[in-house]
Amino acid sequence: MLGTGRTAGGQAALMKFLGSLVVATVVLFLVNLLTSGERASSTGWLFYIIGGIIVIAIYYYFADKPIWDVTTREVVMMAIGAVLYGIFSWATNVFQLPSVSFVALRPAVVIPIFMGLAFGPVVGFFSGAVGNIIGDALTGWGVFPVWDLGNGLMGMIPGLIWAFQDREKATDRLLVIVGALMAIFVVLSFVFPNVEHPWAGTTAGQWAPVLLILLVAILVVARVILRNRPDIAASVVWGALGVIIGMGFASVADIWVNGYSPATAILGEFLPAAGTNLIFTIILVPILYAAWESARAQTGR
């Protein structure tokens, strides 16, 4: 199990972690120069820096936990995760969702979430951030720094589960938080069923029924169906938190980056992105994580 017998590595661990953030930034900058799509704005870069500070703050909060080691295995998995996420994202980016921005149907979100759960927060972060850069570049969309970082957070947050000694208790507490957040979004989507598109003048669709179903599904999957497999239940809950925080950061940042109103950013951008990502998290992450645990048990690794 990840984290057993490891040490934080102190300053060396910090340098390796910061190194992954620097590499992601360099890739983002190069793609920004080469892409023919929409270019990143100065405000976008500013929020990328703010997000980077948030990521570093998360590291310092959990700095004494054995979850930040980056060995040759982690480097290999970072590369594999980023490439897989980028290619599969590009393959499904053609399936656009009703929203106020480039929100696509993306089953591949399970890749950075799984990478975080299986190999730690650094691997999850790199897979999500760089993978999103690759996918958007291949699609020709250009660079969106806050969404690249949001995807990185989506992979990083699930990896924090290994910072807790009593993971089952931590997951139970987290389930309450995730459920409360989902309930708030359900209420908001009922209060504001449609929001005006800031440029096209059209409206975003009604997401309340979908969110309500997702809320019930997360609670049922985590507490009833998977109660005999707390590790699998934890993958759903922590994956859901990663989606909410990652997509939430990017959407809220767009209030300043794109000039959206709070209602437009949350209901017209966050809910479509987070809603569909949560569907794939609930369905695919447990399958992928269970298969990985089975493979580890058979190989003894």
Residue with tokens 């190989």: 299
pLDDT of residue 2: 43
Instruction: Give the pTM.
Output: 0.86
* Beta-bridge mates of residue 96: 104
Q: Quick one: which of 188, 150, 143 has its CA closest to 40? A: 143
pLDDT of residue 218: 76
3-state secondary structure the chain: CCCCCCCCCHHHHHHHHHHHHHHHHHHHHHHHHHCCCECCCHHHHHHHHHHHHHHHHHHHHCCCCCCCCCCHHHHHHHHHHHHHHHHHHHHHCCCECCCCCCCECCHHHHHHHHHHHHHCHHHHHHHHHHHHHHHHHHHCCECCHHHHHHHHHHHHHHHHHHHCCCHHHHHHHHHHHHHHHHHHHHHHHHHCCCCECCCCCCECCCCHHHHHHHHHHHHHHHHHHCCCCHHHHHHHHHHHHHHHHHHHHHHHHHHHHCCCCHHHHHHHHHHHHHHHHHHHHHHHHHHHHHHHHHHHHHHCC
Q: Which amino acid is located at 221 in the chain? A: V
Alpha-carbon gap, residue 149 to 46, rounded angstroms: 12
52-88: b or e for each residue (b if 16 or more CB lie within 10 Å)?
beebeebbeebbebbbbbbeeebbebbeebbebbbeb
Per residue of the chain (301 residues), give pLDDT as tens.
443 334 445 556 666 666 767 777 777 777 766 665 555 667 777 888 888 888 888 988 888 888 888 888 998 999 999 999 999 999 998 887 777 777 888 999 999 999 999 999 999 999 999 999 899 888 887 778 889 999 999 999 999 999 998 888 888 888 888 888 888 877 777 777 677 666 555 666 566 667 667 777 777 777 677 777 888 888 989 999 999 999 999 999 988 888 888 888 888 888 888 888 988 998 899 889 888 888 887 776 6
pLDDT of residue 198: 61
44: number of Cβ within 10 Å: 24
Residue 74 and residue 13 in contact, taking contact as beta carbons nearer than 8 Å: no
pLDDT of residue 39: 58
pLDDT of residue 211: 67
Q: Residues with Cβ < 8 Å from 169, sequence gap 6 or more? A: none
Residue 272 and residue 207 in contact, taking contact as beta carbons nearer than 8 Å: yes
296-300-301 Cα angle (round to 5): 60
Q: CA dist 106 to 56, 72, 85, 96, 167, Å?
A: 27, 29, 10, 9, 28
The alpha carbon torsion through 56, 58, 61, 63 (nearest 10 deg) reads -60
